């Protein structure tokens, strides 16, 4: 279970929420925390590549999501990701999280039920993972 409950994430409380939900016993300094948070950038690049040229690196995406979820917890990681990833990529993110069975029923930052699944990505995940 996550530590800090916030109605909605915003630019003012994001860092506090991320720090309070960070659960990496191997973390030695702020640089390691920053590296884990920076996985969001890598995911955004992978989503952008899929959006631009239909190239979806499912193993790489899933690996980043596993590590991110392991250090922040399932629900906090989903909240952080949906807050930081552009809305135009939410269908990709939702599909991956649903496939991994870590997508919560409710995320305060968004209405998860209105985001469609990407069937093409889902099929690729099912065949390659």
Average the pLDDT over 16-25 and give the result: 91
pTM above threshold 0.75? yes
Q: Please state the domain extents for the chain.
A: 30-128
Q: 69 and 44 in contact (C-beta within 8 Å)?
A: no
Task: State the pLDDT confidence band at 5, using cuts at 50, 70 and 90.
Answer: low
* CA distance linking residue 14 with residue 129, whole number of Å: 32
Give the pLDDT band of residue 24 (cuts 50, 70, 90).
Answer: confident
pLDDT for 37 equals: 93
Tokens of 71: 């250090």
């Amino acid at each position: 279970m996550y530590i800090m409950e916030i109605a909605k994430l915003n630019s003012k409380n994001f860092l506090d929420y991320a720090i309070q939900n960070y659960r990496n016993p191997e973390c030695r300094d702020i640089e390691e925390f920053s590296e884990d948070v920076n996985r969001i950038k890598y995911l955004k690049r992978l989503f952008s590549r899929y959006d631009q040229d239909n190239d979806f690196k499912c193993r790489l995406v899933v690996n980043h999501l596993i590590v991110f979820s392991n250090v922040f917890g399932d629900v906090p990681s989903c909240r952080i990701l949906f807050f930081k990833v552009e809305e135009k990529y939410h269908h990709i993110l939702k599909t991956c999280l649903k496939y991994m069975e870590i997508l919560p029923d409710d995320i305060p930052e968004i209405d998860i039920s209105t985001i469609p699944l990407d069937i093409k990505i889902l099929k690729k995940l099912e065949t390659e993972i």
